[in-house]
Amino acid sequence: MSQTFTSFQDFRRRYPIRPNDEGSLLGSGTYGRVIKVEDQLETEWVAIKISEFKGTDAKSLRAEVELAQRIPRQANIARYDACYRLETDTSVSDFAIMKYYSDGNLADLLRRLTLTTEQVYDITKGILLGLQHLHRHRIVHRDFKPANILISRDNAGRFIPKIADFGLSKLVSDDELDSSD
């Protein structure tokens, strides 16, 4: 996904954001909101995380995406496809694009279903493998909770957890690795 956009209007042609549509709002918080949108070019659903840029790159959604994209691929880490900073009618905002996971997050899944022992094992193992991968690459998540674990499925229908939301994550330095913290 290497497309660039010259305006928010160009972006909306490909990703027609309709926040008032039933079922389009996937989540919201202090960071902004996540909206389900149909990609008009790829004709598939994506999730777009939208956050107003407040003038500090270090704490922006773009910085979160850049950190997440530095992590080598691993099956239990959610990936952003791209992030765009665009001027809208009301502000300058970052728009991060990622795959839409129709099963939602782990918190949603646990509310909807009673998992079998095998499902609990598979999900737990996947989460631990994802955390191990992050830690090997010196990333500390710092906002680890069921709502930040997206749920995918493999070809056999088994649940695959995907650790997401790296907004509070930190790349740990050598000095920090050596400290007791």
Question: Which positions are annotated as active-site residues?
Answer: 143
C-alpha 35/C-alpha 23 separation (Å) is 9
C-alpha 26/C-alpha 54 separation (Å) is 23
Of the candidates 32, 3, 14, 23, the residue with the CA atom closest to the CA atom of residue 90: 32
Contact 92, 86 (CB under 8 A): yes
Write the DSSP symbol of residue 174: H
Within a 13 Å sphere around the CA of 76, how many CA atoms are in the beta-carbon half?
Answer: 18
Residue by residue, DSSP assigns 44-103 as: EEEEEEEEE--S-GGGSHHHHHHHHHHSPP-TTB--EEEEEEEE-SS-EEEEEEEE--TT
